[in-house]
Structure 1
């Protein structure tokens, strides 16, 4: 039995993954208190935490509860996700895609790293969108300007940039911590409520060929607790090469440093700025 922390556990793919992970010691995190309460009833042996990981105070709450309850985390799954048709910001004023897909995994992982032993796993749920947005084009990141402002915001390109940032982070953390297994996974196009704010016909067209949340959760669960030691990037169950940009080590280091300097993270804690031991 492993101790597993699952971020983004109260709906969609995350809830399905939580149910498939039953039998392990689970810490399940979700933003919505009502969904968290419903999940706690469904999985009474799990510790369910209602917290918004798009803000540092939520991340710190998660870390505090887990640290007080266990001395060891074998697996951390960063699964929280958003997709919005218009630009939104977190309570800290950070563009929401960046806050949820990149800053949340970066800061949650940093705060829980002292609990993750050698051989532990970190699974970041990513997307094939890191290669190219839905409308086509090339995904680029400027470390000097990680956030898309109102003039730069595009719902698909901004989403893709945040996923590329997360993938660059995944590889950089693996280089810094070779004793861990740090992986990213595209679970497939999954039928969830992620794009519920988009026009109904657009969502229906995507859902027509999408996987169920249950099937989308399956590769995430296998990478989290399967017998093999995973590494790199997976398209569902298959290890594949990610985009050329994701392997740019200089860019990854610059994105790491730029992330560490973003408000309100800058100067808050050394273990957030640099996870390297």
Structure 2
């Protein structure tokens, strides 16, 4: 299917939160949603950059400070959003780091795992009450082709490891966690009868600011060649996220990415994932570890959901991803 931004339906009356929306793929995602009429909330670590992005986007766009490397900041951002809005229709977990200079998060976690996964896990859990009864609401978590380099041996030691800097394995592990989180969230949402669905998307290969990090030496020449010959611009790389967020023919539990050149570029279509990402027991272990590390526990039981939740017209059956 030849899907583009022209296929994004009217988003008037919807509120969308995009993390990392001040640049790159997040900015392009937010720009398209705003152009279709959504009220867009940019959740950004740098508020000045966020305000500049909001001015470029126009429409009904606002900014909330969010530093995913700090669980205190995540809680403050969630409280601010809850104070401003009574409902959320879309949450796009887009922000991330790749090969940052070595640092731990404020809470002592390895930066890739702490920012890319744990920060988004906590944010989603703290905001889910604004979504779970909203017909057509969606959580889209952005992962990466690099999830294939990750292993599912998630434990407290790896979460606090000092070996994450410039590590392909550490980055891959965090993106594997993103994908497994999206699938386990869908399983729990479906089990609770929630109106919200969870999906995952990857952008393929795109020349965004993530590549400005201190990449491992062995990757630098490869990365340079790949960016020159394979990378697509951010507006194209945003299409899988946008389709996951707005195309109701794509059911919960789906995983989208570009269709061409080993999924590095092209139109957004169902993507392939690693075998380990489908491991149900590993998904559950990651979920339980994430709850313990963040202190955020999701309240998703059938008793929390109204007996009758309206669905959007012509909504296809949900896929659980299991």
Q: TM-score of the superposition, structure 2-length normalised?
A: 0.76
Aligned pair 1:131/2:162, yes or no?
no
Question: 1:257-272 alignment to 2 at 5 Å?
Answer: 257-262=288-293, 265-266=294-295, 272=296
Deviation at 1:97, TM superposition (A): 0.5
Residue 40 of structure 1, aligned match among 54, 63, 71? 54
Q: Secondary structure at the match of 1:242?
A: coil
Shifted more, 217-226 versus 198-207: the winner is 198-207
Aligned pair 1:93/2:108, yes or no?
yes
Residue 195 of structure 1, aligned match among 172, 197, 211? 211
Q: Secondary structure at the match of 2:201?
A: strand
Quote the residue 1:247 is aligned against: 278
Q: Secondary structure at the match of 2:21?
A: coil
Quote the residue 1:273 is aligned against: 297
Asked if 1 retains the 8 angstrom alpha-carbon contact of 2:240 and 2:269, the reply is no
Residue 238 of structure 2, aligned match among 211, 217, 220? 217
Aligned pair 1:49/2:49, yes or no?
no
In 2, the alpha carbon distance for the partners of 1:154 and 1:25 equals 37
What is the root-mean-square deviation in Å for CA atoms of aligned residues? 2.1
Structure 1 residues not aligned, in runs of 5+: 133-137, 267-271
Asked if 2 retains the 8 angstrom alpha-carbon contact of 1:148 and 1:158, the reply is no
In 2, the alpha carbon distance for the partners of 1:20 and 1:93 equals 36
In 1, the alpha carbon distance for the partners of 2:166 and 2:152 equals 13
Shifted more, 39-48 versus 108-117: the winner is 39-48
In 2, the alpha carbon distance for the partners of 1:257 and 1:173 equals 12
The ranges of structure 1 where at least 4 consecutive aligned residues each deviate by more than 4 angstroms after the TM superposition are 151-154, 199-203
Cα 1:174–1:131 change in 2 (3 A) is: same
Offset from partner CA, 1:7-28 (integer Å, 9 cap, x none) = 1100111111111111211111
Cα 1:152–1:51 change in 2 (3 A) is: closer
Question: 1:71-90 alignment to 2 at 5 Å?
Answer: 71-84=86-99, 86-90=101-105
Q: TM-score of the superposition, structure 1-length normalised?
A: 0.88
Structure 2 residues not aligned, in runs of 5+: 1-11, 259-267, 302-322
* Count of aligned pairs between the two proteins: 265
Cα 1:204–1:173 change in 2 (3 A) is: same
